[in-house]
Amino acid sequence: MEYLHTNLDGSIVKYTDDMIKHVIESEDYNKKKVQEYLSRFHKVRVSVYEFFNNRYDSGDTEITCTVDDVNELLESLGADKLKALFTVNGTISFSVVDVEADSEEDARDIVSNSLELQFTDEGSLDEWDVEVTDASQQ
């Protein structure tokens, strides 16, 4: 069976039973999602209010809390926790084989000038140095 619907602009749209069923199912799904988001929003509002209210005394103009307190709140809300910044120092050992060169010195220069170091996560590579400890003919 087909159903006709007239839009405000005067255009007519034909709907089949399957199309109407799909629209109703979509509406039910969307309604559930909106209810989930509203419930989550309410939880967040209550959690944030309780967090600050528990640290507030009447007349205070400042509220003090620790990073651990904030991270506990953020984690309970499903948010990323605050993180500290660290500097990490280390040593990388390497061995490059089959370097074609006229001399050991030339082989050292080729390797020293050709090595690259990348850091692919958050953070930045500040400084690095290549120290070729020895070279020997194969």
Strands 2-6 and 12-16, sheet pairing = antiparallel
Domain shared by 91 and 135, yes or no: yes
The domain boundary residue, chosen from 23, 52, 76: 76
The pLDDT of residue 45 is above 90: yes
pLDDT of the residue at 107: 93
Domain shared by 48 and 93, yes or no: no
Domain shared by 72 and 118, yes or no: no
Domain shared by 8 and 65, yes or no: yes
DSSP conformation letters of 29-89: HHHHHHHHHHHHHHHHHHHHHHHHHTT--TT-S-----HHHHHHHHHHTTPPPP-------
Q: How far is residue 6's CA from residue 4's CA, in Å, rounded to a whole number?
A: 7
CA distances from 94 to 12, 91, 123, 128, 134 (A): 73, 10, 23, 14, 11
Domain shared by 111 and 61, yes or no: no
Domain shared by 58 and 26, yes or no: yes
Q: How far is residue 78's CA from residue 69's CA, in Å, rounded to a whole number?
A: 14
> How many domains are there within the chain?
2
Domain shared by 59 and 100, yes or no: no
Domain shared by 64 and 120, yes or no: no
Structural domain range at position 35: 2-76
Q: What is the per-residue pLDDT across 55-109, written as a single tens digit (0 to 9) for each?
A: 999 999 999 999 999 999 999 999 999 999 998 888 888 889 999 999 999 999 9
22 Cα distance to chain centroid: 34
Domain shared by 92 and 40, yes or no: no
Domain shared by 12 and 49, yes or no: yes
- Whether the full predicted model's pTM is greater than 0.75, yes or no, is no
